[in-house]
Chains A and B, each alone.
Chain A
Amino acid sequence: MATQADPAALPADNAAGGIFPSLTLLAGWLVPGAGHLMLGKWVRALLLAAAILTMFAVGIALGGKLYSPNTGEPLDILGFLGDLGAGLPYLIGRFAGLGQAPVLVATADYGTKFIVVGGMLNIVAAVDAHSLASGRKRA
């Protein structure tokens, strides 16, 4: 379990409430692994980026669906929020017209789940970067 960091050992610009933790959260959401990269933890950043981008790419390759924000269906809205967690890959995929074909086979449905879970994992990773930057989690 993550342990509390010693506040006295934190750099001044990383103190809770500063803008740096929020920037790591935003960067980590937009680009998978970028939050950890900003903190100098490049091995963790590479592993996180590889895991999350692999899930997104495999999901698209399997024919998974990228949800739209405006269908009105509650489950579609939840799927959209999960997809949106991937950040820029989702936005690029939407603008490129990926993931718009109807899901007709089981593996394409797996692809849809890969994309949604990848997005949610990216949110977990971005929040972890924020916790490291704010000192809530020991580096």
Chain B
Amino acid sequence: MTITHFSAVILFAACIAVVFGITQRSEPKMMIRFGAYCFVLLVGATIVASWGMWLIKR
């Protein structure tokens, strides 16, 4: 199986967001909100770190 780095990030963040959303909140609405928050934070942090490494390289 081959996978791009970005696909791996999306899959990784999605799975973590599902588990964190369910386990860290009690109400279904808050679970979805917290899961989405975790997903955005994980993917966003990876993109920021990637651009940071690109800048360091240059």
A residues near B (Cβ < 8 Å) are: 1-3, 44, 47-48, 50-52, 54-55, 58, 61-63, 106-107, 110, 113-114, 117-118, 121, 124-125, 127-128, 137-139
Q: CA A124 – CA B20 in complex, angstroms?
A: 8
Interface hits, B26-54 → A, CB 8 Å: 26
Q: Least Cβ distance of B21 to chain A in Å?
A: 9
Contact indicator A3/B18 (Cβ below 8 Å): no
Interface size class of B (residues with CB under 8 A): 10 to 19
Nearest B residue to A53 by beta-carbon distance? Answer: B15
Q: How far is the CB of A64 from chain B (nearest CB, A)?
A: 10
A-B contact number at CB 8 A: 59
**B15 and A2: CB pair below 8 A?**
no
B22 contacts across to A, CB distance below 8 A: 44, 47-48, 125, 128
Q: In the complex, are the beta carbons of A110 and B23 less than 8 A apart?
A: no
Find B15's partner among A3, A63, A118 (CB 8 Å cutoff).
A118
Q: Which residues of A contact B8 (CB under 8 A)?
A: 107, 110, 114
